[in-house]
Amino acid sequence: MKNQATKLHVGVTASVKMRSVPSGKPVLALLMRWLLAAAFAMTAFGMQAGAGFTSLYSFTGANDGGIPYAGLVPGADGYLYGTTSSGGTNRSGSGVEYGGGTAFKIGTNGALTPLCYFNAAAGLTCTAGLAQGSDGNLYGTTVFNANPQEDDFAGDGTVFQISTNGGLTNLCYFNQPRGFPLAGLMQGHDGDFYGTTSAINLTGNQSRSSYGDVFKVGTNGDYTSLYFFGTLRDAYGDALDGGNPRATLIQGNDGNLYGTTWTGGDSYSDADEYYTYGTVFKISTNGALTSLYSFGGIDGTYPVAGLVQGSDGNLYGTTSGGGTYSADFYGNFYTYGTVFKISTNGAFTSLYSFTGTNDGANPEASLVQGSDGNLYGTTAVGGTNDSGTVFEINPDGTGFTTIYTFSAINAELNNFTYASNSDGAFPRANLILLGNTLYGTTSAGGIYGFGTVFSLTLPGPQLNIMPSGASVVLSWPTNFVLTLESTLNLGPAAVWNSVSPAPVIVNGQNVVTNPMTNLQMFYRLK
């Protein structure tokens, strides 16, 4: 009897095949020798060692768009959908800095198709990602627009709908005092979309005295403002309830919405100066807001990214600044951002402070949790080439690993001079995880200097196999949520069945002892 064993990756069938030797008689000694060789060859390895990076697409800054600040969303049709903040057919001047931006779809093989081109009437500068609604259409926001309800360039943005074949429909226009929608939309359980506006636009100017709001909008464009930030203020005029949110909301298991604000919160004093560093908040779908936490400096400052709810029910996020302070020769202080955990009732834990070196600096994107329970994210800068990183961290803050560092750029990113490299630079967008592959965008770099779409394949858990008398012992790590299945034959008609009995946990491994009742058997973790 001959045995073959293959290394397992998440989403890929791994098998042990047992078949007759030429004599047609099972030979237990030969089986054991093959099994032992396979088991000892399958040594454990870390995530970083096997990560495979692929640059899927480099934006040219022309009709395909350029400078994507947003991440991707997986469509029901298998394509990935995204936006660029510039470029497209409606760009003006000699550079993409004057462009209207695009919406696009891209296959996992890197074939990109522009869906629509934003313009002054339909909305300009899409910095946020798309959300696919239950009706199959894509929904999003733009930052600027020429509002037909105003006499001039109102500049407050739009909510739009795009069909997957590119048909663009404006649902509503923003105007004072709503603010600028810098973040994307999230469809709630009730079918409405929820989002936020900021009173600070892309140039950093606050055009009005408000601090933005939380709103909901129906698929027919009906708009309702749920809460205006700055309703509660301290003696210095700062918004105690938070201000200027820049991240997409999430809906928690309890039905409430959770998010972050870039500014506001309790004031922290330093001599005669007073600062507000942002908040984490909870809000019900009828507009009742609770401020869960105010950042203070060492625990983080200015969260640009939103939150993710982990499998343990806690919320995880990043701040773009704060954390451990480092001083240069002249005594100037710099902060590089943090990773944090917070419960839905506001119990806060700081998990990690970036150093600004090989681990990266200034994360601006939300985290994503993998099937191994670990969290994955990006930093906008830092790393060995100061062009940003992809990282992995355990939910308890241990085991931080830099999975990938983007290459050095070959020109200054200054005055609309776009720096090029091979793989991209300055990732500012959320990652998505499909199977064991991360997909994301960079806002700069690539062949033409206008950003990229990339994939990063992670090694999956390892299925270990060991003979034990007339049985086979199979084991795999407990930090992956997977089911062991078996079949007698491979092919399109293969029937996979869960292996019983249920696994027992031994030294951090799921262990199953399965009798060898057939001459061949295939196993997989699903």
> What is the DSSP secondary structure assignment for residue 407, as one 8-state letter?
P
Look up tokens 């709103």; give the residue.
215
Q: Does 177 sit behind a cis peptide bond, omega within 30 degrees of 0 on the bond before it?
A: yes
Per-residue pLDDT at 92: 55
Q: What is the pTM of this model?
A: 0.79
pLDDT for residue 328? 52
Rounded Cα gap, residues 264 and 188, in angstroms: 26
Q: Which residue has the higher pLDDT, 271 or 124?
A: 124
Mean pLDDT of the chain: 81
Structure-token pair, residue 76: 């029901």
Q: Residues 282-291: pLDDT tens digits?
A: 999 999 999 9
Count of other CB atoms within 10 angstroms of residue 18? 20
Q: What is the mean pLDDT of residues 501-515?
A: 86
Mean pLDDT lowest among 128-137, 202-211, 405-414: 202-211
- Cα 168 to Cα 117: distance, rounded to the nearest angstrom: 9
Mean pLDDT highest for which of 50-64, 297-311, 328-342? 297-311
Tell me the three state secondary structure of residue 334. strand
More confident residue, 526 or 136: 136
What are the backbone dihedrals phi and psi of residue 219, each rounded to the nearest 5 degrees, phi first?
-65, -15
The secondary structure of 149-193 as a DSSP string is TSSS-----EEEEE-TT--EEEEEE--TTS-B--S--EE-TTS-E
What are the extents of the domains in the chain?
2-42+463-525, 308-442
Lowest mean pLDDT of 88-102, 135-149, 258-272, 345-359, name the range: 88-102
Q: What is the pLDDT of residue 338?
A: 96
Average pLDDT over every residue of 148-174: 76
464 to 19, 49, 311: CA distances (angstroms): 19, 19, 26
The Cα 447–Cα 193 span in angstroms is 36
CB contact at 8 A, 159 and 183: no
Distance CA 201, CA 220 (A): 26
* pLDDT of the residue at 46: 28
Stronger pLDDT, 487 or 517, i.e. the higher one = 487
Q: What is the mean pLDDT of residues 478-491?
A: 80
Q: Structure tokens of 379?
A: 């930093």
**CATH for 308-442, among 3.30.70.270, 3.90.1720.10, 2.120.10.30, 2.40.30.10?**
2.120.10.30
CA distance 83 to 181: 15
Compute the distance between CA of residue 204 and CA of residue 226 in angstroms, rounded to an integer: 24
Q: Can you give the pLDDT at residue 143?
A: 84
SS (H, E, C) 2-67: EEEECCCCCCCCCCEEEECCCCCCCCHHHHHHHHHHHHHHCCCCCHHHHCEEEEEEECCCCCCCEC
More confident residue, 177 or 248: 248
How are strands ordered across the β-sheet holding 484-487? Answer: 497-498, 484-487, 522-525
Residue 26: band (very low, low, confident or very high) from pLDDT cuts 50, 70, 90 = very low
User: What are the contacts of 77-80 at 24+ separation with CB within 8 A?
Assistant: 77/164, 78/107, 78/108, 79/105, 79/106, 79/107, 79/164, 80/105, 80/106, 80/107, 80/108, 80/432, 80/439, 80/453
User: Per-residue pLDDT tens for 441-462?
Assistant: 999 999 999 999 999 998 777 7
Contacts of 297 (CB under 8 A, 6+ apart): 268, 275, 277, 322, 335
Helix (H) or strand (E) holding 354: none
Question: 188-241 pLDDT, tens per residue?
Answer: 999 999 999 988 666 555 555 578 999 999 999 999 999 999 888 877 778 899
Q: What percent of the chain has pLDDT over 90?
A: 50
Distance CA 206, CA 5 (A): 62
Is there a contact between 264 and 279 (Cβ–Cβ < 8 Å)?
Answer: yes
